[in-house]
Structure 1
Amino acid sequence: MNKVILCGRLTRDPDVRYSQGDSATAIARYTLAVDRRFSRRDQQDAQTADFIGIVAFGKAGEFAEKYFRKGTKVIVTGRIQTGSYTNKDGVKVYTTDVVAEDQEFAESKNSAGSNGGNYGADAPSMSSSAPAPSAPEDGFMNIPDGIDEELPFN
């Protein structure tokens, strides 16, 4: 099984190009900075994130072009794909990318603004039209009256 799930921030705006031919397909490339869970104590100045290349094709590429910006926190599900090519100097270069199968926002538009994220003005809203209920101080949300019959369990 070849399955990858990543959560990180875009290091720059996606680079989007379109394939040639009758039905041009969007190909978006971007890099995710994914924090490492643990750092080694003996290396205080060591890198604390990995920078992973992501490729999104078709509708996923168009979505990335329209809504993803530098600093946006996203979750990407996909597969690892390796390849190689010979560059103009005759040197063989090996590549490893994650081909995105699913990509979604990992935080709301409001929290992105306070954490350095930068959604475009036309990004879809992550909230419903109903006002968000406030959470009591114990951290649990109150269930409104009359919703018992809508719950999937009793």
Structure 2
Amino acid sequence: MSLNQVVLIGRLTKDPELRYTPSGVAVAQFTLAVDRPFANQNGEREADFIPVVVWKAVAENVANYVKKGHKVAVTGRIQVRSYENNEGRRVYVTEVVGQNVQFLTTPSNGASSQNENSNNRQKSTNNQGTNSAGDGWNISDDDLPF
């Protein structure tokens, strides 16, 4: 038995980037700033900047309702992938594949998006019963935008 489960709460460092694969599957990427639970030697709090990728309806909802600075909770799994860069070197990328994203920013605590105000009841979105590329979505590596 193996387990690969991640739970993160943090703020987006910039607006999500939404793209579509050639076959029309939505994919969004964003970076989540997650505060560390302790201060450094100077007494300052530090954060980790964690790349997150979400697919399908989750990607579209995140792109439509979440902006830079918004707080979200992400559950998913860690994935390591690799590709060959322009110089012919193998590059490894570690990221979280988000399966559920809960929107924690509300209009009363900083959201300014008109869409978010009109859709306040849309608090979370998930890919329940689905997985990322290669785990049942019938998406080939050629379809991936990265």
TM-score (norm 2): 0.75
Partner of 1:96: 94
For the pair shown, the structure with the greater C-alpha radius of gyration is 1
- Aligned 8 A contact 1:68 1:119 in 2: no
State how many pairs are aligned.
118
Q: Is the 8 A contact 1:67 1:119 kept in 2?
A: no
Partner of 1:125: 120
The structure where strand makes up a greater share of residues is 2
The runs of 5 or more residues in structure 2 that have no matched partner are 123-146
| Alignment RMSD | 1.8
Q: Which residue of 2 aligns with 1:11?
A: 13
Q: Identical aligned pairs, as a percentage?
A: 41
Cα displacement (A) at 1:45: 7.9
* 1:126 positional shift: 4.7
Where do 5+ consecutive residues of structure 1 fail to align?
A: 128-154
TM-score by length of 1: 0.71
Please state how far the C-alpha of 1:39 moved relative to its aligned partner: 2.2
Distance 1:121 1:100 in 2: 25
Alpha-carbon spacing, 1:30–1:71, altered in 2? closer, same or farther (3 Å): same
SS at match of 2:31: strand
The superposition leaves residues 101-153 of structure 1 with CA deviations (integer Å, 9 ceiling, x where unpaired) of 10011232211x2xxxx4421112159xxxxxxxxxxxxxxxxxxxxxxxxxx
